[in-house]
Structure 1
Amino acid sequence: MSRSHAARVAAVRRAMAQEGIDVLVLRPSPDFRFLSASPGATSPEGVLPEDGSPDGGAGPGVFLVVTAEAIVETRDPAGLVPASARRVGVDPEMRASELFRLAIAAELVPASAVLAPLRLRKDPAELAALGRAVAAAEAVLAQAAELAWFGATERAMARRLRLLALESGCEEVISLRVSAGEHTARPEHVPGGRVINPGDALLVSVCGRWDGYCAEAGRVFAVAEPPEDYEAMYSVVLAAHRAALAALRPSVPFAELARTVHEVIDASGYGRFAAPHVGRGVGLGHDEGPRAGEDAVFAPGMTVCLEPAIYVPDLFGARVADVVACTAAEPVPLGTRPHTLHVLDR
Structure 2
Amino acid sequence: MTPGRAEARLRAVRAAMDEEGLDALVLRPSPDFRFLGGEESRGTPDGAAFLVVTRDTIAATADPAVLVPEGARRVGVDAEMRVRELFGLAIEAELVPASAVLAPLRLRKEPHEIAAIGRAALRAEEVLRQARELAWFGATERAMAATLRMLALESGCEEVLSLRVAAGEHTARPAHLPGARVINPGDALLVSLCGRWDGYCAEVARVFAVAEPPEDFEAMYSVVLAAHGAALAAARPPAPAADVARAVGEVIDGSGYGRFAAARTGRGVGLGPDEGPRLSEGTPLAPGMTFCLEPAIYVPELFGARVADVVACTDTGPVVLTSGPPALHVLER
Supply the distance in 2 between the matched residues of 1:27 and 1:171 (Cα, whole angstroms): 18
Corresponding residue for residue 322 of structure 1? 309
Question: Superposition RMSD on alpha carbons, in Å?
Answer: 1.6
Supply the distance in 2 between the matched residues of 1:215 and 1:58 (Cα, whole angstroms): 29
Cα offset, 1:225, TM superposition: 1.1
**Which of 51, 54, 64 lines up with 2:51 in the alignment?**
64
Deviations 1:225-260 (A, max 9, x none): 111111111000000000001111112112222111
Corresponding residue for residue 27 of structure 2? 26
Deviations 1:292-340 (A, max 9, x none): 4443221111111000001111111111000001111110111125422
SS at match of 2:18: helix
Q: TM-score, normalised by structure 1?
A: 0.93
Deviations 1:99-145 (A, max 9, x none): 11111211111100100000000010110110111111011111111
Supply the distance in 1 between the matched residues of 2:281 and 2:221 (Cα, whole angstroms): 29
**Which of 73, 77, 83 lines up with 1:86 in the alignment?**
73
For residue 212 of structure 1, what is the amino acid of its counterpart?
A: G
Corresponding residue for residue 42 of structure 1? 40
Supply the distance in 1 between the matched residues of 2:137 and 2:44 (Cα, whole angstroms): 45
Residues 1:138 and 2:125 are matched in the alignment? yes
**What is the aligned-residue identity percentage?**
72
Residues 1:184 and 2:185 are matched in the alignment? no
Cα offset, 1:56, TM superposition: 6.8
Supply the distance in 2 between the matched residues of 1:61 and 1:304 (Cα, whole angstroms): 29
**Range 260-269 or range 290-299, more displaced:** 290-299
Deviations 1:11-32 (A, max 9, x none): 1111111111111100000100
Deviations 1:143-173 (A, max 9, x none): 1111100000001000111111111111111
Corresponding residue for residue 198 of structure 2? 211
SS at match of 2:287: coil
**Which of 262, 267, 273 lines up with 1:286 in the alignment?**
273
SS at match of 2:194: strand
Supply the distance in 2 between the matched residues of 1:317 and 1:338 (Cα, whole angstroms): 15
Supply the distance in 2 between the matched residues of 1:159 and 1:337 (Cα, whole angstroms): 25
Corresponding residue for residue 330 of structure 2? 343
Q: How many correspondences in the alignment?
A: 332
- Tell me if structure 1 keeps the 8 A contact 2:160–2:194: yes
Cα offset, 1:60, TM superposition: 2.5
Corresponding residue for residue 210 of structure 2? 223
Cα offset, 1:42, TM superposition: 3.5
Corresponding residue for residue 163 of structure 1? 150
Cα offset, 1:196, TM superposition: 0.5
Taking the TM superposition and a 5 Å limit, the aligned residue runs for 1:88-127 are 88-127=75-114
Supply the distance in 2 between the matched residues of 1:20 and 1:112 (Cα, whole angstroms): 14
Cα offset, 1:84, TM superposition: 2.6
Supply the distance in 2 between the matched residues of 1:251 and 1:123 (Cα, whole angstroms): 18
Q: For residues 261 and 337 of structure 1, do their structure 2 counterparts lie closer, same or farther at Cα, with a shift above 3 Å needed? A: closer
Supply the distance in 1 between the matched residues of 2:323 and 2:246 (Cα, whole angstroms): 26
Supply the distance in 2 between the matched residues of 1:320 and 1:293 (Cα, whole angstroms): 18
Residues 1:195 and 2:196 are matched in the alignment? no
Give the gaps of 5 or more residues in structure 2: none
SS at match of 2:251: helix
Corresponding residue for residue 257 of structure 2? 270
For residue 54 of structure 2, what is the amino acid of its counterpart?
A: T
Supply the distance in 2 between the matched residues of 1:72 and 1:58 (Cα, whole angstroms): 16
Give the gaps of 5 or more residues in structure 1: 44-54
Corresponding residue for residue 334 of structure 1? 321
Supply the distance in 1 between the matched residues of 2:320 and 2:150 (Cα, whole angstroms): 26
- Tell me if structure 1 keeps the 8 A contact 2:228–2:248: yes
Q: TM-score, normalised by structure 2?
A: 0.96
Supply the distance in 1 between the matched residues of 2:325 and 2:264 (Cα, whole angstroms): 22
For residue 176 of structure 2, what is the amino acid of its counterpart?
A: H
- Tell me if structure 2 keeps the 8 A contact 1:223–1:345: yes
For residue 37 of structure 2, what is the amino acid of its counterpart?
A: S
- Tell me if structure 1 keeps the 8 A contact 2:298–2:304: yes
Q: For residues 212 and 42 of structure 1, do their structure 2 counterparts lie closer, same or farther at Cα, with a shift above 3 Å needed? A: farther
Supply the distance in 2 between the matched residues of 1:152 and 1:335 (Cα, whole angstroms): 28
